[in-house]
Chain A
Amino acid sequence: MNEKIEELLPFYALDTVTESERREVEAYVASDPEAKRRLDVLMRTASALPYASEPLEPPAALKRTLMDRVNADAQKRFVPPPPAQKSGWSRFMDFFLSSPAQWLPQGVAVLSLLIALVVGAWGFSLRNELTRLQAETALLQKELADQRLVLAQIASPNAQTFVISGTDHQPQAHGQLIADSQTGSAVLVVSGLQQLEAGKIYEFWLIQGDTPVAAGLFEVNEEGKAILQVSQAVTPESYDAIGVSIEPEAGSVQPTGDIVMLGGLD
């Protein structure tokens, strides 16, 4: 182990070495897999440092200006591919247009039948598509309304954050309850939870003394994450703790399954 270069590794990870130091470190780790592993660990940690800054939404005008510039550049740099050679359909049409006497009698009948079939199938498909799009639009509109509401709270200067951690049943689980101390609205953000078998669901609890209050059901996505919006007032003074348990899919009045997450509201 080269002590002199080992001392440089944290500064390499923090990106504050000189060019010659950078070359030294890179040559060193290229010849020593263990040193490379140590450097990777340091670099992964350093790469999380930007998150130490409070996220801040840039002005909307900035995005518009940027997207205008990008769209203009995209039109210049990414030209659509030229039309391919004539397709089979084009060659077929060429034949029809060049020698009508050969195909006219039978062609009219076949074409009529084809048109009827195509129009029928198209109409059926359009109806299905329209129904699907209407349902999708309604769902998206509802989600958008929900999300705007949640965002207003997350961005609130009165937001207080309370940590909720996994118990022995799911120690990898973690999350936060973000509560607005003025409006009482709250959002629970969880991750690291396991996906549940069919017929089971997670239930969120607000706990006052020994009394848990059922506060909603949720499922997690493939990454074990979920966000829950509490739509009625939940002030930290009203409750002592929060928890998550596994319940039958209809939910329970009291926790009956494993308590997988717990946290305090103090």
Chain B
Amino acid sequence: MQVLIKPIMIVKEWSDEQLIAQVARGDTAAYEMLYDRYCSAVMGFALKITGDQSLAEEVVQETFWRVWRKADLFQTQRGAFTSWFFGITRNLSIDMLRRQKTQVQPVSETDQIIEQTADPSTDVPEAAWLRQRHQQMRTAIETLPKDQRSVIEMAYFRGMTRQEIAQATGEPLGTIHTRARLALQKLREELQMQGFEE
């Protein structure tokens, strides 16, 4: 069988930090590039937390609006752009979740319910890059013991404090501390093994 292959390079001419610096100067083209790069990651992340598509869309809108309005507040020396950016998404999603008191759906159910549709304007190499990171992270999370995974789920994706987690699980606070620490250590090891780029 003859198989034809067309190479498509992953081009990332502008780093996130370069783009956000341009956005801070009012560059809407740079802003649109950031949107195209991360909109589906933000949408998926917000949906996982809120469990509601319309709430997730509101989070996407508000996250990117804040990126536009507050781009000049982002400081490279304080961490990567994605930490800042996903921090905004997470806070908005958890706030919205608390306000709406919506029941969170497990990610696997959410994935089945929502049918993905391809936007013809989507940047394919960026989409493939994002999908690769998703697969790596998902594989790493699946290696965690269930009790460690659930601590991460409750703390990070539901915004529960360690005391709330201890109360919800009926475990001593010390056990919750240990599970959180071991979970992050194990995740790091797994991500490194898979070549996940930080």
Q: Within the assembled complex, what's the spacing in Å between the Cα atoms of A223 and B56?
A: 33
Are A154 and B4 neighbours in the complex by a CB distance under 8 Å? no
Please state if B65 and A66 are interface contacts (CB–CB under 8 Å).
Answer: yes
- Asked if B98 is an interface residue, CB under 8 A from chain A, the answer is no
B5 and A206 form a contact (CB under 8 A): no
> Which residues on the A side are within 8 Å of B125 (C-beta)?
147, 227
How far is A50 from B65 in the complex, measured between Cα atoms in Å? 19
| Contact A191–B195 (Cβ < 8 Å) | yes
> Is A89 at the interface (CB under 8 A from chain B)?
no
- In the bound assembly, the distance between CA atoms of A163 and B110 in angstroms comes to 24
By a CB distance below 8 angstroms, the chain B residues around A104 are none
B41 touches A51 (CB 8 A): yes
The residue on B at minimum CB distance from A3 is B177
- Nearest CB of chain A from residue B187's CB, rounded to whole Å: 5
CB pair B5–A217 under 8 Å, yes or no, is yes
**Across the interface, do A52 and B137 meet the contact criterion of CB distance under 8 Å?**
yes
Q: A74-B28, A176-B135 are in contact. List 10 more A-B contacts (CB 8 A).
A: A16-B156, A16-B160, A53-B47, A53-B107, A150-B128, A154-B118, A189-B132, A191-B132, A191-B195, A221-B9
**Chain A, 128-170, CB within 8 A of any chain B CB:** 143, 146-148, 150-152, 154-155, 157, 161, 166
Separation of A49 and B159 alpha carbons in the complex (Å): 13
Known: A44-B198, A45-B191, A52-B138. A13 touches B4 (CB 8 A): no
User: Least Cβ distance of B46 to chain A in Å?
Assistant: 8
Do A70 and B68 contact each other (CB < 8 Å), given the known contacts A57-B118, A151-B124?
A: yes
Whether the pair B7, A218 counts as a contact (CB closer than 8 A) is yes
Interface of chain A, main secondary structure: mixed
- Chain B: interface residue total (CB-CB under 8 A): 93
Once the chains are docked, how many angstroms separate the CA of A221 from the CA of B42?
A: 26
Listed stretches A28-36, A91-99, A228-236; interface member: A228-236
Which residues of A are found within 8 Å of B143, using beta-carbon distances? none
Q: Which listed residue (A18, A48, A69) contacts B65, Cβ 8 A?
A: A69
Q: Which residues of B contact A265 (CB under 8 A)?
A: none
Contact with B along A33-60 (1 / 0, CB 8 A): 0000000011111111111111111111
Task: Give the number of residues in A that approach B within 8 Å (Cβ atoms).
Answer: 88
Q: Is A178 an interface residue (CB 8 A)?
A: yes
Q: When the two chains form their complex, are residues B60 and A191 in contact, meaning their CB atoms are under 8 A apart?
A: no
Contacts of B89 in A (CB 8 A): 50
Task: Say which residue of A166, A192, A213 sits within 8 Å of B3 (CB atoms).
Answer: A213
Q: Is the CB of B39 within 8 A of A57?
A: yes
Is A15 an interface residue, CB under 8 A from the partner? yes
A230-B118 CB under 8 A given contacts A63-B35, A221-B9: no
Pick the contact of B4 from A161, A191, A216, A221 — CB < 8 Å? A216
Given contacts A43-B83, A78-B26, A221-B11, contact A58 B155 (CB under 8 A): no
Q: Verify A11–B180 contact, CB threshold 8 A.
A: yes
Q: Would you give the 0/1 interface string for A200-229, flagging 1 where the beta carbon is closer than 8 Å to chain B?
A: 000010100000011111111101011111
